Every structure is written in C-alpha cells, then in structure tokens.
Structure 1
Amino acid sequence: MTTTIPRASAILGAARTLAAKLLLAVPIDRAALSEAMTESARGNDAAGAWQQRDSFEALEVSLSLAIPELVGRMDVGASISALEALARELPTHTVRSEDQIQFQQFSTPPALARLAVHLARLSSDDMLLEPSAGTGIIASLAKGAVKDLILNELEPTRADLLEAVFPGKKVYRHDGAKLSALLSGTARPSVVLMNPPFSVSQSRGEDQNTAARHLRAALDHLLPGGRIVAIMPDWFSPSARYEETFRRTLEGARVVLSLRLDKGGYVKHGTGIAVRVLVIDKVPGEIGVSTVNRGSVGELFAALPTVPLRATLRDPTQAAAPRPKLSLFRSVKTGPARPVIVRAPQTNDVRHVAYEVLAEPAAMGEQRGVYADYRPSRVVIAEAGEHPTHLVESAAMASIAAPKPSYVPSLPERTVTARLLSAAQLETVIYAGEAWSRDLHGRFSHPAGEVALQEDPEGKLYRTGFFLGDGTGAGKGRQAAACILDQWLKGNRRHIWISKNAPLLEDAQRDWTAIGGLPSDILDLACWKIGEEITAPEGILFVPYGTLRSSRVEDTRLDQIVRWAGKKFEGVIVFDEAHEMGGVAGGEGAPGQKQGSLQGIAGVLLQNTLPRARVLYASATGASDVNNLAYAVRLGLWGPGTAFANREQFISEIRDGGIAAMELVARDLKASGLYLARALSFAGVEYDILRHDLTSEQIAIYDTYCEAWTIIHQNLEAALELTGIVDGLENKTLNSGAKAAARSRFEGTKQRFFAQVLLSLKLPSIYPAIDEHLANDECVVVQLVSTAESILNRRLNELDPDEREALELDLSPREAI
C-alpha cells in the first residue's frame, strides 16, 4: 500500500535534512536536493511523489531553519558576506511552477534579507509584520530581535510551512493588497519588512502596480511613526513616468533611504531583475531622495550611510493632525496650511449621499437673455458646495422641473464633504442612478449582424440610459467617473469608458484620480492586441472610438470587449463625446446617400449586446441633426410605450418639426429624468480685438512665400505626369485616387504653412500685450492651435541613433516646403 505524503510535510522533512547539512557545512547540490525530497516524500519525482520546484522550496525553508544559528553572533557586515558566500555555493533555481508564477514567489535572497533587517533598526518592543512571508527567510533573521511576529502568506503550502517553522506565531492567509482592511481591528505592527509580488495580483491578474498596492496597504496598517523596509520593482521611483503612482502610494510617509540592487541580486533565483530597497517612515516628509546603486548586497552595505533613527510611534487614535486614510477613493487634492482644529479623526467611510427631495420644484433661476441661472430643481444636497464657476441653462430647459428621484448613491464620505463634487455634479449621479434603476418598455432581441433591435415577447429587458449634455467646464469627465465610482462601491468592478481618441486616456485618469481612484484602474485597450483575451479581472477599460470599430478577419475589437465584459455585464458604459457616433443611421450627404459610420454602428452594437449595461451618453453637442440621435438607443425615444413606432418615424416627424421639435425632445427627456444640460455662464465677459498691422517687411516676406508656392503649384502637374499619375500627351488621368491625394496634400500643406506664417507675423503684437497684462497682475491664457506633435513624432521615427544623439529638428514652415 502506497502512502501519499502531504506536499507541505514532504517539503518540511527535506528542509530539516538540508538544514542539518548547512549547519555542518556539507555541500548541497542538485543531487542532494533530490535525495532529500525522495527520502521525505517516500518516492521520487519520476513517480510523481514530488516536483522539482518542491526541492527548491525545501532549500529555502532549510535556510530559514539554519540561518539564525549560522549568522546569529556575527555583525551585520560579516553576516552579509557569509550569506553571499553561502548563496554562491547553493544550486540555482532552474524550475518554476505554475503556483510560483501565479503567486509571484521569488523569495528574498538571504543576504538581502539580512540587509533589510538591519535597515529596520528593530527593538525588543517591536511588533513585526511580514505581509508576503514566503518561506520565512526574512522572519527567521528578525524573530530574535522583536517582541512578536505577524506573518501573512496567501499561497496555502507556504502558509502551512510557515506555521511549522514558526510555531506559536499567527499566520494569516490574506491577499497582501487588502491587508489593511482584512486585519482591521487586530494589533497593528510598528515595523513592516516586505518583498511583495511585483506584477500579478490575486484580484486583478496581471497588474504592474501590484507592488505599489501591497505597499500602500502595509502603510495603512502600520502604526503612525512606524517603519517599512520594502523591496520594490526597479520602476518604482519618482521618475517622470511613474511620479504620480509613487507619490500617491507614499502619501503621508517619508523615504529616509533609497537603495538599488543592480541585476544579479536574484541570479540564484533564476531571474536577473534589479530591485529597489526603500526605507520608509510613516511620518509626513520628503519622498524623493538620492539613491545608492550597487551590484551586490555587500557593496550596498559598504556604501551605506548611517541608517536614520526611527521616528517616535504615535497612538493612531490621538494623532494631533489626523490624515485621512489613503484608499482607492480619497482625493489627491491638497491645500494651504490651516489652523488645527481639535475634532474626531477623519474618516473616509463609504456612505449614502444624503439629500432632500423638494415637494415643489425650486423656483426658476434669474433669467438673463436666453439663459437662466442653474439650480437643481428637485433636490437639495446640504453638504455639497456650489459649482466652482457659475452655471446656467437655457430658459426653455430651466422652465422644466426634473422628476422626484428616489435613488441614493453611495460614495466615499469625503467626496461629498470635501466638495470634490459640486451639487450640480452630484445631481447627475443621482439622476443617472435613477435612470439605470428602470428598464425600457418592452422586450427585445438582437438579430446577429443587424443594428436595430426587434420587439420580442421572449426577448431581453434593456436598461434605460442617461444623457449628460453639459458644456465645457461643467466637469462631464468627473461626473462620469463619479457614476462609475458609485457602481464600483456596489461591487460592479468592470466598466467601459469610450472616448474620442487615445490621448484622452490621460483625461480619464485625471478625472478618476480626482475623486480618489488610481491611474492604473484605467485599462488601456491598446495593451492587448486584437484577438487576445483581456486578462485584467477588473478595471475601467478605456477605448477610443477609432479602436472600437477596428477589426481583422479573425476578430474585432468589439467582440474582444464583449468577451471581457461578459454576458451579465452590469457596469457603466460611458460614451464620452457621444456625438462621435452621430452618423450611425447614414443619411443624405454631398454625393448622395451615405452609409452609417462604422464607429457609430459599433457603439450601438455594443449597447445592444450588453442589455444590462448602464449607458451614460456625455456630449455638449449631442446632435446637430435629429438623424444623429440614432445612437441613443437607451433613452426610449422610440419603440413600445412612446409616440413613435420606430427610429425612422421618430427622425422623420421630429425633423419636420425643426429646431422647436428638437427642443421639445430635450425638455421631455429632462422631465423624464434622463437628461441634464448645464453650461458655464459668460456673464460679465468682455473682449477686445487686438489688431496687428503688417509692416512693409512682413508684407514682403508674405509676398515672397506666395511666389514660392506659385512655382510649386505651376510645377505640380509636371510632377504628376513624371510620376505616371496623369498622361500629358492624351490629357488623361491614369490614377484618379493618387491625383486627388496629391492635390489634397498640396492644398493641406499650403494651408498649414500660411497658418504658421500668419501666426508668426502676429507675435510682435502679442508679446507686448502679454507683458502688459502680466504687469497689471492679470492672468493670460494662450490657446495652442497646434503643437505639431504628430509631425514631431514622424520626424523622430525617421532618425537613426546617431541623429538622435545630436538632435536637430526643423519643424518651422520651411520644413513644409
């Protein structure tokens, strides 16, 4: 009868055998590892009794068992040298298991663990937490210097091993990124030593910011004044690219030492990565410090300045100036120093947004011309502030009151009390949630390949959408982010944000972080190729309209997004700049009948494929023509329960009614609670035209350029003939497409050229005017018509490395010629 030995027991037995050899200075090679595992597991690896990865786990556990005795009485420098020498004699890790990859199990090299313990300046009063304890190498070096150990390890086998190696110590089995929440109410540590996973999260899958999330959770749980020594990925630094993540992760703390271990520190673990070792005290202070960079732990220790003393521990419930706990939902805004007021510690608990529903609608705001001062017509949010700038709405819209809402959003407390959202913006969250609480009339099915839904008694219910028609400055992006945050806190962790182009990703990140999110929560679809599965288990997927419509023979972006969302998707789909879908229904154009736009069709198909999605349209110019409202399929403008049987009838009859009918549609949508449209007030705005008179010299310059372009124009036909685009002999066009493209490029280049020239000619008047306003202590806003970014990128891509070294680019109008 064959007895199967539990994996943890087999590894532990082999580790004890190997530890005895280490203490006797007996060399350990691959054969010794296999022998110890075979004896402990009572079978060899060929028979499946154990795996090669188990032998390396046993080797690491043996180090945890033997190291305290091996280096216990040595000073720091000697122990680091001894551990580096020991590591060189041990076998290199050559096998990785699926568990090791899944849980990012790259244990701390013994010499680096000894340095981390030294940097912590441990005392006998300390309670030490290791959030990703692994096989216990760091804990084994620290346990004799502290009062108590708190260990956490998510991977089950390693957690079992820790309980055996550290009997009597509490071993938690949580995700380290959520430790502050999961250990809430337990004893808090005064020191944290951590080597977190770098790029794989248990809740998010592949996530570059995993280590940062683990560090933030550890900081939140650490006692005020406590110290963290963290082994972090090489990118985690205050560089231009990662400064925002670095700053937000370390908010409320200071970095007292920054070390970098170059490639080679983990070579015995089968990887050549570089790492950073940060010594962080939980007191406000500077986070950007100079970094000591060396190739080995011994060299780092030799170059080490004096390790700074620890800060004084503080009672977290009696801090003089309590800082709000940083979480995914707190604001990043800071302000000028203010007098300290004694009050209860700040919290950022998630709670319902309290508001009063008015039995009678609020009086219409003061009318100025065709606009009236804006005020929420049905709700009063006592804790919310006014919008930073004065808002108005058209008098026609102001005369209509919104319905009484009943939906109550849930948001972080400070989002309201710190006035990160104004009353007008919170009103949007309320009415969007109210709209999403009901369904369109009737049931519908979605025939494959068709854009329109079909009534079907056996079909699906489609959730009603909401339209946000605010103008520039009202904060449509932040309102969309708040709507997502409300759902995020209710457990919906997958959302889709569709916008005009890829650069607006930064705007989405700005709006999301403004109310407390992390930039990494916004997932750029460009990170996955068409056909690949989107691996992120949660997040806000950012999709430009141009990407939404793209496809290949074997797959489409739309299908890729739908697979990630899942059939039961109930997240928010934000159609930012929704008018980009305006051509979905086609219509009459200059050459005749036009087909529907591909991105408009893709947007409607996405809505039709995900019936339970919460659709938010956001656009200040929702539709210039009623035909362009065809994308708004979730507003209930046509179909069952309306005055119009289908979209075609709605478009036909509203178009006959002209602008007045379109106004009625907007007013009806507001009365139904499906539409809000506010704009910044221009009351008191005045403008003067600054006139620049061309000098005779500038006129001569302009005339010279005109003559040059005339020469180019006169020779354009000859160039077309020489390139085989036209035939001068028979006066025929041989390639009409190329001819049109050449003329289009010529005219476009000419217009850009003269636009730059005219702008340049105006500068002698613009600069003195700017100086005059600045001298009067007035603000000057300069609008950049074009930054020439695309031209610059094309030029940079054409350069070879030598040319990049001595960079000289000419992006002036001369370059166009």
Structure 2
Amino acid sequence: MGQASVQAPPQQGLPLQGSCQVRCAGCRMILTVAPGMTEFSCPTCNLAQMLPPELMRGPAQAQAQAHGIDPTKIQLPCAHCKAILNVPHGLSRFACPQCGIDLAVDLSKFKHHFPPPPLEPPEEVNEVAIDVEREEDEGGMVGETFSDYHPPKLSIGPPHPDPVVETSSLSAVQPPEPTYDLKIKDDLESSKTLSCLQIETIVYTCQRHLQHLQDGARAGFFIGDGAGVGKGRTIAGLIWENWHLGRKKALWISAGSDLKFDARRDLDDVGAMCVEVHALNKLPYSKLDSKSVGVREGVVFLTYSSLIASSEKGRSRLQQLVQWCGPEYDGLLVFDECHKAKNLIPETGGQPTRTGEAVLDIQVGGLD
C-alpha cells in the first residue's frame, strides 16, 4: 500500500500526468494519487483507503485485481465514512470495518453511485450500502424482495408470456378459494387466448360480482395489475363471460377515444367477434336503442370526458346512458384508467370534480 500526497498549491504546478485527485475519507483533504496506485493511506490522518471504482479505469483497472479488489465481491462505499468496502454477494446487513456503523444493502440506489459496468462484467446484483438507522427513521423498507407469481389455486390456461412478480410479504398471503365456474372455461382452455393470470382475475371478479353490499348494490372488483399483464384482454374476457350469462350490454369507460380500437382487438382475441363495440362520440344524443340509432346490445365505449358532456339542447350523455341501460341493468360497468375519476371527495375546502360525480351517479342512478 502506498501513500498519497497532499495536493500542491496551484503555483507549484499540476499533478503528475496519469495521477488522479480524490478527497480523503477521513480528514477530507484533497490527495493526489500516483498512476497505477489503487490503495493508499492519507499522509495527514493516516487513514487507509482505496480509489472508488469509477476511478479504476483504463490501465489502472488492470492492476486493481492485484491491489485488494476481490472479483467475487461487490465494492460499495460506506454511507458514513465513504470507505470502499468489499461486500460478499447476498450479504444484506453488515458493519463498516472502518467506522463501525451498521449498513444494509439497498437495490434501488446503485445507479446513482457507479458508472455503467464494463462490456463483460461479472454477474452481480446492483446494490449499494446505506445507513440503516437513517433509512429506518424515515420509514423506508430496506431490501424488499420479490417472488415470481403463479396462480396458487387455479390451473386453467397457459403460463403468462411475461414474468410477473409480487412482494415476498404479499406472497405469504393466500387468495380466497375460487368457487366460480366459468361459462367460457372450455373455450379458453382450447383457444389458449388468455393466460392463467388473466383467467384467475376473471374468476375472482365474477365471484365478487355475485356478492351484494349492504345497500343491495352489486359488489365491484378492482384490477390492480401492472403494465404488461393485459388488463384489456381481461376486461374483454369478462364481457364475453357476461355475454354467455345473458348480459349483453356493457359500458366501457376509458381515457381516450382511440382505445376503442384496442377494445375491439381484445374482444376479437378472446373469441367475442359477435360483440359489437359502439363509440359513443360517433353517436347522436338521441335514444341509443331507437330505430334511428339502433344500438340494442353490445359494448358502448366512451371516455370520461364524454361522460360529462352534453348537447346544445341540454341532453347529457349520462342521461342517455342511464336510459339505454334501464332501471334493471345488471351488466358490466368498466372504469378503465379509473384514476381519471379522482377527487370525488376532495381535500377540505375543495370542490369535487364533475368526472368524479358522474362516475358515482352512473353507479347509483339505476346501474348496480
């Protein structure tokens, strides 16, 4: 191990070519490290330390393996004294041998500390050491892990084409027993158009819809799947299941009019080619089931903006939809991208949004 030199004043000349300048992790003095040197001690406070990984590039990196860098371990900076530590893979908590502070491994902050790895890096997990006490004081989770998700109680349908994960804590909670018998189960098993994850969601949704709340309204179901799971196809499967139960009217409310074409594609994919999709913004404000309009069944697709729209004569889309569904309506109400209906109950002093009120009204205005 060599000894670095304290940075010379500007009038005494520049550092040697190929050398680098770092701040001492102990006394914070600016040190000049000679070319090829990766481990050194500060001449002022005698603290032993090494160059951070981002400075071990080029020729110096070739010598790094011979100066204390263990390729089987991960080099992480201490969150307190900034010393570079060799941490074995899989070690989630440890104490810094330099300052003694308790540290933990945080997967989310690695990219903020290190440059991109070389072209052929050793296999490792992106990790960085953090101060445990500071993280726990802020209420954060340290080292949250994830597990692959597979339906634990259903075996219908092919595996999902993309990997889906859930937190390890959530994986310890078992879902309810599936008791609903799908009408389209045989079609789905033969066509394999929906994955086991999507079919599981349809089963639990239909199972929930069989229940009623204390006020007599039919219970709803919230689909919280992330991007890539295929919520559109799941919704199409729900519409197709309800179609087989005789519920041949459905409202599909989404964020944009162009998504109507995605809805048509998803219905076709699940085999529901006979279910028509009607874009509400292309229809007049007159009765949808009148002879002039002719919408007797199928999916009426609309946006949250259309839900609060009205004509020059004062007829609203909401009234039009309630009339089309009728007082005994028992079909699906799909609130896709439902965050668009936020702020029904605003903060103190605020006013509820028209969209939030309309979404509530369409559920209580004769639509269970």
Q: 1:379 aligns with which of 136, 154, 174?
A: 154
Q: 1:603 aligns with which of 359, 363, 366?
A: 359
Give the aligned partner of residue 320 of structure 2: 560
1:416: Cα distance to partner? Answer: 2.1
Query: What SS does the aligned partner of 1:410 have?
Result: coil
Question: Does residue 500 in structure 1 map to residue 255 in structure 2?
Answer: yes
Deviation digits for residues 162-181 of structure 1 (CA, Å, limit 9, x no counterpart): xxxxxxxxxxxxxxxxxxxx
Tell me if the contact between 1:375 and 1:424 (Cα under 8 Å) persists in the aligned partners.
yes
Tell me if the contact between 1:428 and 1:479 (Cα under 8 Å) persists in the aligned partners.
yes
Question: Does residue 403 in structure 1 map to residue 176 in structure 2?
Answer: yes
Question: Does residue 489 in structure 1 map to residue 262 in structure 2?
Answer: no
Q: 1:515 aligns with which of 261, 267, 270?
A: 270
Matches within 5 A, 1:743-782: none
Q: Partners in 2 of 1:463 and 1:600 — Cα distance?
A: 19
Report the TM-score, using the length of structure 1 for normalisation: 0.26
Give the aligned partner of residue 302 of structure 2: 543
1:595: Cα distance to partner? Answer: 1.3
Q: Partners in 2 of 1:561 and 1:479 — Cα distance?
A: 23
Query: What SS does the aligned partner of 2:159 have?
Result: coil
1:369: Cα distance to partner? Answer: 4.2
Query: What SS does the aligned partner of 2:302 have?
Result: strand
Query: What SS does the aligned partner of 1:606 have?
Result: helix
Question: 1 or 2, which has the higher helix percentage?
Answer: 1
Q: Partners in 2 of 1:520 and 1:415 — Cα distance?
A: 17
Q: Partners in 1 of 2:272 and 2:177 — Cα distance?
A: 30
Q: 1:527 aligns with which of 282, 286, 291?
A: 282
Q: Which letter does structure 1 place at the counterpart of 2:309?
A: S
Tell me if the contact between 1:497 and 1:576 (Cα under 8 Å) persists in the aligned partners.
yes
Tell me if the contact between 1:509 and 1:519 (Cα under 8 Å) persists in the aligned partners.
no
Q: Which letter does structure 1 place at the counterpart of 2:217?
A: Y
1:582: Cα distance to partner? Answer: 1.3
Question: Does residue 587 in structure 1 map to residue 329 in structure 2?
Answer: no
1:422: Cα distance to partner? Answer: 0.8
Tell me if the contact between 1:432 and 1:466 (Cα under 8 Å) persists in the aligned partners.
yes
Tell me if the contact between 2:199 and 2:234 (Cα under 8 Å) persists in the aligned partners.
yes
Query: What SS does the aligned partner of 1:502 have?
Result: coil
Q: Which letter does structure 1 place at the counterpart of 2:266?
A: D
Going from structure 1 to structure 2, the CA distance change for 1:371 and 1:495 (only over 3 Å counts) comes to: same
Give the aligned partner of residue 467 of structure 1: 222
Matches within 5 A, 1:408-807: 408-411=181-184, 413-440=186-213, 442-443=214-215, 461-518=216-273, 521-534=276-289, 535-552=294-311, 554-587=314-347, 593-612=349-368
Give the aligned partner of residue 71 of structure 2: none
Give the aligned partner of residue 170 of structure 1: none
Structure 2 stretches lacking a partner, 5+ long: 1-142
1:520: Cα distance to partner? Answer: 6.7
Tell me if the contact between 2:288 and 2:295 (Cα under 8 Å) persists in the aligned partners.
no
Going from structure 1 to structure 2, the CA distance change for 1:520 and 1:407 (only over 3 Å counts) comes to: closer
Q: Partners in 2 of 1:379 and 1:412 — Cα distance?
A: 12
Q: Which letter does structure 1 place at the counterpart of 2:265?
A: R
Give the aligned partner of residue 129 of structure 2: none
Structure 1 stretches lacking a partner, 5+ long: 1-367, 444-460, 613-817
Tell me if the contact between 1:385 and 1:419 (Cα under 8 Å) persists in the aligned partners.
yes
Matches within 5 A, 1:325-336: none
1:578: Cα distance to partner? Answer: 0.9
Q: Partners in 1 of 2:232 and 2:343 — Cα distance?
A: 23
Matches within 5 A, 1:141-156: none
Deviation digits for residues 195-214 of structure 1 (CA, Å, limit 9, x no counterpart): xxxxxxxxxxxxxxxxxxxx
1:378: Cα distance to partner? Answer: 2.6
Runs of 4+, deviation exceeding 3 Å: 531-534
Q: 1:393 aligns with which of 166, 169, 179?
A: 166
Query: What SS does the aligned partner of 1:542 have?
Result: strand
1:519: Cα distance to partner? Answer: 8.0
Going from structure 1 to structure 2, the CA distance change for 1:486 and 1:411 (only over 3 Å counts) comes to: same
Q: Partners in 2 of 1:489 and 1:403 — Cα distance?
A: 25
Query: What SS does the aligned partner of 1:511 have?
Result: helix
Tell me if the contact between 2:255 and 2:337 (Cα under 8 Å) persists in the aligned partners.
yes
Tell me if the contact between 1:429 and 1:482 (Cα under 8 Å) persists in the aligned partners.
yes
Q: Partners in 2 of 1:493 and 1:520 — Cα distance?
A: 8
Going from structure 1 to structure 2, the CA distance change for 1:608 and 1:397 (only over 3 Å counts) comes to: farther
Tell me if the contact between 1:531 and 1:556 (Cα under 8 Å) persists in the aligned partners.
no
Q: Which letter does structure 2 place at the counterpart of 1:386?
A: P
Tell me if the contact between 1:371 and 1:393 (Cα under 8 Å) persists in the aligned partners.
yes
Q: Partners in 2 of 1:432 and 1:500 — Cα distance?
A: 22
Tell which structure's C-alpha radius of gyration is larger.
1
Q: Which letter does structure 1 place at the counterpart of 2:197?
A: A
Q: Partners in 2 of 1:610 and 1:415 — Cα distance?
A: 33
Going from structure 1 to structure 2, the CA distance change for 1:597 and 1:525 (only over 3 Å counts) comes to: same
Tell me if the contact between 1:531 and 1:554 (Cα under 8 Å) persists in the aligned partners.
no
Give the aligned partner of residue 85 of structure 2: none
1:477: Cα distance to partner? Answer: 0.4
1:472: Cα distance to partner? Answer: 0.7
Question: 1 or 2, which has the higher strand percentage?
Answer: 2
Q: Partners in 1 of 2:145 and 2:359 — Cα distance?
A: 34
Q: Which letter does structure 1 place at the counterpart of 2:252?
A: W
Tell me if the contact between 1:414 and 1:420 (Cα under 8 Å) persists in the aligned partners.
no
1:510: Cα distance to partner? Answer: 1.3
1:540: Cα distance to partner? Answer: 0.6
Deviation digits for residues 444-463 of structure 1 (CA, Å, limit 9, x no counterpart): xxxxxxxxxxxxxxxxx101
Q: Which letter does structure 1 place at the counterpart of 2:301?
A: F
Deviation digits for residues 275-326 of structure 1 (CA, Å, limit 9, x no counterpart): xxxxxxxxxxxxxxxxxxxxxxxxxxxxxxxxxxxxxxxxxxxxxxxxxxxx
Q: Partners in 1 of 2:274 and 2:263 — Cα distance?
A: 9
Query: What SS does the aligned partner of 2:252 have?
Result: strand
1:396: Cα distance to partner? Answer: 3.2
1:417: Cα distance to partner? Answer: 2.3
- Equivalent residue pairs, number: 221
Query: What SS does the aligned partner of 2:258 have?
Result: helix
1:594: Cα distance to partner? Answer: 2.6
Q: Partners in 1 of 2:275 and 2:149 — Cα distance?
A: 35
Going from structure 1 to structure 2, the CA distance change for 1:519 and 1:493 (only over 3 Å counts) comes to: closer
Query: What SS does the aligned partner of 2:358 have?
Result: helix
Tell me if the contact between 1:568 and 1:610 (Cα under 8 Å) persists in the aligned partners.
yes
Matches within 5 A, 1:32-111: none
